A = this chain, B = another copy of it.
Amino acid sequence: MTSNAIRICETGLRDGLQNERHCLSAEERASLARLLVAAGHRHIEAGAFVREDRVPQMAGSAEVLQRVHGLAARFTVLVPNLAGWRAAEGAGATSVAVFAAASESFSQKNTNGSTAEVLARSREVAAACRQHGATLRGYVSTITHCPFEGRVAVQDVVRVAEALFDMGCEEVSLGETTGRAVPRDVREVLSACAVTLPLEKLALHAHDTYGMAVANVTAALEAGLRSFDSSLGGLGGCPFAPGAAGNIATEDLLHLLHGHGCDTGIDADAAVRVALAAEKLLGHELPGRVLAAARRRN
């Protein structure tokens, strides 16, 4: 891997769709996954094994995995606990994401447990994953601000990320959940992380609620990060962070990265076509800027 190679994890089909009113069928989600792979995506968050009564948008995640089986990409599914892991394992999942929040209040409201309790659940999932040879990815949410507590201490972020690496995560994605952070905040938390954590194994998961996501990714890129989460068309939000918008739009991220000479392996025009296809399935426009420019040109 050369230094200008960037890894992108496309989270639209999980973090994105999870915040849509309208539920897409497993085949509709699989059809988007096929377009993503054809565009060059190699890592896709494809679903979640969570309670279907709480997150109906993720129902049928097992079927999505079946339908994308054999495609040339890694498909990761979110798993909150051992029950979720058993379902994921039964569906043939080989890549699993676990999570915890740096903020205690967010942890309680989002996952009904303290950060320590949520980490303990994730540790159980991690142990089971290791037994079955599944790849593990970790998420730390609220890395700079919490919707309930305000500013989050950088040492809390570092502590949770360390715990996730300790349980076997090969990469930890730092989630800027509220979208309030500015580049200075991102630099500050990454600089604290760099003391004990491997920067090359950290990703940034930036929400665009206040329009800061591209600037925050730029700051992270300059700090040495080489992995970013994004969401097709900027799809998404967060049901537990009031007013939050989606992840950085994949197409906007590609504009930034390709303009800086980075190699993502993803075709920018094809990425726009996936987002247009998602708009058609969802029946409304998505907020990505590059996408909006494409609509205006058409």
A residues apposed to B, CB below 8 Å: 179-185, 208-212, 214-215, 217-219, 242-245, 249, 252, 255-256, 259-261, 287-290, 292-294, 296-297
Contact = CB atoms under 8 A, between A and B. Distances in A.
The 9 tightest CB contacts between A and B, nearest first, are A211-B289, A182-B259, A211-B252, A215-B215, A214-B215, A243-B297, A243-B296, A215-B218, A210-B255
Nearest to A249: B211
Contacts of A256: 182-183, 212, 215
Given A182-B260, A218-B219, A255 B212 contact: yes
Nearest to A295: B243
Contacts of A296: 242-243, 245
Nearest to A257: B182
Given A242-B297, A243-B296, A260-B184, A290 B218 contact: no
A293 B215 contact: no
Contacts of A245: 289, 292-293, 296
A28 B105 CA distance: 45
A289 B208 contact: yes
Of listed A181, A219, A287, A293, residue having the most chain B CB within 10 A: A293
Nearest to A214: B215
Nearest to A242: B297
Nearest to A261: B184
**Best-buried of A209, A215, A243, A296 by chain B (most CB within 10 Å):** A215
Contacts of A183: 218, 256, 260
